[in-house]
A and B are shown apart, each in its own frame.
Chain A
Amino acid sequence: MQSLGQRVFLAIERAFSTFFGERLNPLYYLGAIAYFLFWVAVATGLYLYAFFETSVVQAYASVEALTHGQRYAGGLMRSLHRYASDALVLVIVLHLLRHFAFDRHRGFRWFSWVSGVVILWLTYASGINGYMLPWDRLAQFVVTATTEWFDVLPVLGGAMARNFISNANVSDRLFSLLSFIHIGLPLSVLALLWVHTQRVPGAKTTPPRPLWIALLLTLTLLSLIKPALSQAPADMGTLVENLNFDWFYLPTYALIGTWGATNTWFFVLGATFVLLFLPWLPTRFTRGARVWSMAVHPDERIVDVRAGETLLDAGLREGLPMPFECRNGGCGVCKCTLVHGEVRLQAHQVFALSQAERAAGKILLCCAEPLSEVELTYVPLPGARAQPVKQYVAQVTRLELLTSDVMQLDLKIDGGASLAFHSGQYINVLLDGDERRSFSFASAPHTATAIELQVRRIEGGRFTPTVFDTLRVGDSLRIEGPLGAFTLREDSHKPIIFVAGSTGFAPVKSMLEHAFHTGLQRQMILYWGVRSRSDLYLGTLAEKWAQDHPNFRFVPVLSMPSPDDGWSGRTGLVHEAILTDFPDLSAHQVYACGSVHMVQAAQPAFAQRGLASDDCFSDAFHLAPQKPVHGSDAEMVQLGGSHG
């Protein structure tokens, strides 16, 4: 049923796009159009309310005076009120159907779906209540049918309908009550709309200007051609055979006439139950409840993508300035390049993403659900800024000299807060004058309350000498993070080769400790390249890992060992040691963290040995001339914090 719905929607949308264009296709703005129609109904309703008389005798007369006495004001307003309300039901139902057809009602979207169903019912209640106010034959029918319908419920037993059994029973107070309800119900619709929309990142609540202008003109023309009119005045002493019926709001009443009140209750409650629980019904897509991570360039951020969430939804939720327009796979504005990973593309228009583009690694953010950890790059909206990364004040809890020029700096965020991050990411230390210094997390994510950094002293630098000379335990630093798209990919079974150069050991330590913590069973080898033995500042820790974890090996490589080192291990450049050990790298993944020179030398050499570009990860690679994404600060990251 859903695939049929998708085909129908796609076909109509494709046809509409040929003359509306992709950016003004009304079917891509059903939610926003519903908002607009609601506001039209509210604005016109306020005008009508100013002239409406809340009494038995005057209710009908005042509406007639509005309709005929001021045809191009009150009459027009009444018609607009009627038609906007009718169109609102139509658009809400289409909106609901589209989300159901495209399976966009499951997972985290359950809240929007359920609130949407409640909004639909409240909209019905508002409209039905509105039909009671003009006190014409239709109002008489609606009041009688409604009270009779409710009277079949236990306890009431006929008490409600008796209030409308004769003209004498209907009092002026009824109209005050009905007016009150007719204000209260739309207010509750508005409140729910707000909640409904707040949960949708980047939700549009206003259709494009040409669209709402055209819509308003259409409704105005309809109002002029076929004004909304009252039927004969209500008279409880008689019934008319035929009623001009509003089939947008009153189909339930036709059902009551056919099936009876009790059966209609069962149908309505059953349908509501089914609608409310649709998000939890089994699906043919087996996504599971897995949360995947999405590494994003040029933002250099890693965002979690929840089960059932599109990449666009996840990005917008995190405040990334991702481009989008229709959100329905029709305009192609959210096209981007998938650098790594797999996605499932929901149904979309072929003209928005051609087969050739798909083959070239392009995807539509609004239709892509991750099937693995993904990395992508997109062109941000012109002038748009990503939501700033969260800033914290952190206290220094530990300063330990690891070697003569590397300091372990432990931080704890004030207030006991934790900073959720992915292994391999980094933070910025904020300095006066809006300067920043970046350092990779050396600790694993599961110890997020204790942030460990490894700081190499850079002579003449602005920050690192202070870490060695003046910074004390208890001092405070301002930091921001997490940042960086470099992280451990856990969606592969290939053996991992970590290549660390100098303090590039810090992010590798974070990734390895995370891997040990999560019980990753893949084979892992760490090649740590330094100049001399004293630079292996945590070599004993790496050796202990090798003893404790059978799937891990540690290979230290010294480039310039001194005679005093008494070194009998591997020597030379670290990437050359790997090339010696692995004639074929096609079945491996490589994570390289070190100087730009090291990474740039290693990348082509590894590729020649069969390492797929999809299996080679390093921030330094992004600094290569063909991918300049993050300015000079990025260099600090892969160096594990060696910037001054």
Chain B
Amino acid sequence: MANAPRPAMLRYVLQGLAYAAFAAVVGYFSTAPVYRQLGDDQAVLKLSFSHSGQLKYACRERSAEELAKVEPNMRNKMDCPRERAPVRVELDMDGMPLFRVTTPPLGLRKDGAATVYRRLAIPAGMHHFSARLADDPNGEINFSSEHRVELTPGQVLIVDFLTGKGGFVFTGG
């Protein structure tokens, strides 16, 4: 027997207390303490897009000698390399740089889209954003946009890039 035996009632009470302590630990840490994911008066900026850069090299016509070296079914006159240019994006807020990101295209042949995702907590309030993007092989900026928005605490601003919509798109979540 473990030490001196305790009276039955006392043992049941102590068992109850042990189970209560177990329940208290489980119950408390199941929801507490609270996790603070965002500071007071903060909003969130998400820069996210998936965009294919321009083809890095122009198509060219194969010479007769080159065509003769390949099988007849593969004699395509035009040689169009698939590799795309990396995408460079710059985002400023109130004249201050927030992001400077250059992303290579995905894929073994570097022919996929360049994907960017950044999240940043920023102060709530009125802000002026300036976004620029370069997707051509020379790395020159060929898209730019300005946006002014009033962000409330907790609000999410998404800065996307959609070629079909003319470039940068500033939206809420």
| Chain A contact residues, CB within 8 Å of chain B | 14, 16-22, 26, 82-83, 86-87, 90, 141, 148, 151, 155, 157-159, 161-162, 165-167, 214-215, 217-219, 221-222, 225-226, 228, 235-248, 250, 253-254, 257, 349, 351
Q: Among A82, A159, A257, point to the contact of B30 (Cβ < 8 A).
A: A82
Q: Among A19, A87, A225, point to the contact of B15 (Cβ < 8 A).
A: A19
| Chain B contact residues, CB within 8 Å of chain A | 1-4, 6, 10-11, 14-15, 18-20, 22-23, 25-27, 29-40, 42, 44, 46, 48, 50, 103, 106, 115-117, 119, 153-156, 158, 160, 171-173
Residues from chain B with Cβ under 8 Å of A238 in the complex: 154-156, 173
**In the bound complex, how far is the Cα of B11 from the Cα of A146, in angstroms?**
46
Shortest beta-carbon distance from A67 to chain B in Å: 14
Residues from chain B with Cβ under 8 Å of A250 in the complex: 35
In the A-B complex, the 3 residue pairs with the closest CB atoms? A158-B117, A237-B173, A17-B2
**In the bound complex, how far is the Cα of B44 from the Cα of A579, in angstroms?**
96
Residues from chain A with Cβ under 8 Å of B40 in the complex: 241
- Once the chains bind, are A162 and B156 in contact (CB under 8 Å)? no
Residues from chain B with Cβ under 8 Å of A14 in the complex: 2-3
| Contacts A86-B29, A238-B155 given; does A157 touch B23 at CB 8 Å | no
**In the bound complex, how far is the Cα of B46 from the Cα of A165, in angstroms?**
8
- Once the chains bind, are B115 and A162 in contact (CB under 8 Å)? yes
Residues from chain B with Cβ under 8 Å of A222 in the complex: 23, 26-27
Residues from chain B with Cβ under 8 Å of A248 in the complex: 26, 29-30
Residues from chain B with Cβ under 8 Å of A17 in the complex: 2-3
Q: Whose C-beta in chain B lies nearest to the C-beta of A151? A: B117
**In the bound complex, how far is the Cα of B90 from the Cα of A261, in angstroms?**
23
Q: Among A16, A221, A239, A243, point to the contact of B23 (Cβ < 8 A).
A: A221
- Once the chains bind, are B1 and A237 in contact (CB under 8 Å)? no
Residues from chain B with Cβ under 8 Å of A214 in the complex: 15, 19
- Once the chains bind, are B36 and A241 in contact (CB under 8 Å)? yes
- Once the chains bind, are B155 and A237 in contact (CB under 8 Å)? yes
**In the bound complex, how far is the Cα of B153 from the Cα of A473, in angstroms?**
96
**In the bound complex, how far is the Cα of B10 from the Cα of A19, in angstroms?**
8
Shortest beta-carbon distance from A275 to chain B in Å: 22
**In the bound complex, how far is the Cα of B32 from the Cα of A438, in angstroms?**
69
- Once the chains bind, are A237 and B2 in contact (CB under 8 Å)? no
Residues from chain A with Cβ under 8 Å of B3 in the complex: 14, 17-18, 351
Give 16 A-B pairs besides A19-B11, A82-B30, A218-B20 with Cβ atoms closer than 8 angstroms.
A19-B18, A20-B15, A21-B11, A157-B106, A158-B116, A159-B50, A161-B48, A161-B117, A162-B117, A166-B158, A217-B19, A222-B26, A238-B173, A241-B154, A242-B37, A247-B29
**In the bound complex, how far is the Cα of B171 from the Cα of A240, in angstroms?**
18
Residue pairs across A and B with Cβ atoms less than 8 A apart, 13 shown, are A18-B4, A19-B10, A19-B11, A19-B18, A20-B18, A86-B30, A162-B117, A165-B173, A222-B27, A228-B30, A241-B42, A351-B1, A351-B2
Q: Whose C-beta in chain A lies nearest to the C-beta of B116? A: A158
Shortest beta-carbon distance from B169 to chain A in Å: 11
Shortest beta-carbon distance from A625 to chain B in Å: 34
Q: Whose C-beta in chain B lies nearest to the C-beta of A236? A: B173
Shortest beta-carbon distance from B106 to chain A in Å: 7
Q: Whose C-beta in chain B lies nearest to the C-beta of A210? A: B15
**In the bound complex, how far is the Cα of B44 from the Cα of A167, in angstroms?**
15
- Once the chains bind, are A165 and B31 in contact (CB under 8 Å)? no
Q: Among A148, A219, A239, point to the contact of B117 (Cβ < 8 A).
A: A148
**In the bound complex, how far is the Cα of B34 from the Cα of A246, in angstroms?**
9
Q: Whose C-beta in chain B lies nearest to the C-beta of A247? A: B29
Q: Whose C-beta in chain A lies nearest to the C-beta of B42? A: A241
- Once the chains bind, are B50 and A245 in contact (CB under 8 Å)? no
**In the bound complex, how far is the Cα of B39 from the Cα of A257, in angstroms?**
12
Shortest beta-carbon distance from B163 to chain A in Å: 16
Shortest beta-carbon distance from B32 to chain A in Å: 7
Residues from chain B with Cβ under 8 Å of A257 in the complex: 35, 37
Q: Whose C-beta in chain A lies nearest to the C-beta of B118? A: A158
Residues from chain A with Cβ under 8 Å of B26 in the complex: 83, 86-87, 90, 219, 222, 248
- Once the chains bind, are B117 and A18 in contact (CB under 8 Å)? no
**In the bound complex, how far is the Cα of B3 from the Cα of A22, in angstroms?**
11
Residues from chain A with Cβ under 8 Å of B154 in the complex: 238-241
Residues from chain B with Cβ under 8 Å of A165 in the complex: 46, 48, 117, 158, 160, 173
| Contacts A18-B6, A166-B158, A235-B173 given; does A244 touch B115 at CB 8 Å | no
**In the bound complex, how far is the Cα of B26 from the Cα of A159, in angstroms?**
36
Q: Among B14, B27, B155, point to the contact of A83 (Cβ < 8 A).
A: B27
- Once the chains bind, are A245 and B32 in contact (CB under 8 Å)? yes
- Once the chains bind, are B44 and A239 in contact (CB under 8 Å)? yes
- Once the chains bind, are A218 and B37 in contact (CB under 8 Å)? no
Q: Among B2, B14, B37, point to the contact of A240 (Cβ < 8 A).
A: B37
- Once the chains bind, are A218 and B33 in contact (CB under 8 Å)? no
Shortest beta-carbon distance from B100 to chain A in Å: 16
**In the bound complex, how far is the Cα of B156 from the Cα of A167, in angstroms?**
11
Q: Among A18, A167, A225, A244, point to the contact of B32 (Cβ < 8 A).
A: A244
| Contacts A20-B15, A214-B19 given; does A254 touch B35 at CB 8 Å | yes
Shortest beta-carbon distance from B61 to chain A in Å: 35
Q: Whose C-beta in chain B lies nearest to the C-beta of A241? A: B38
Q: Among B6, B115, B153, point to the contact of A157 (Cβ < 8 A).
A: B115
Residues from chain B with Cβ under 8 Å of A26 in the complex: 18
**In the bound complex, how far is the Cα of B27 from the Cα of A246, in angstroms?**
10
Residues from chain B with Cβ under 8 Å of A228 in the complex: 30
Q: Among A157, A162, A166, A241, point to the contact of B173 (Cβ < 8 A).
A: A166
Shortest beta-carbon distance from B122 to chain A in Å: 12
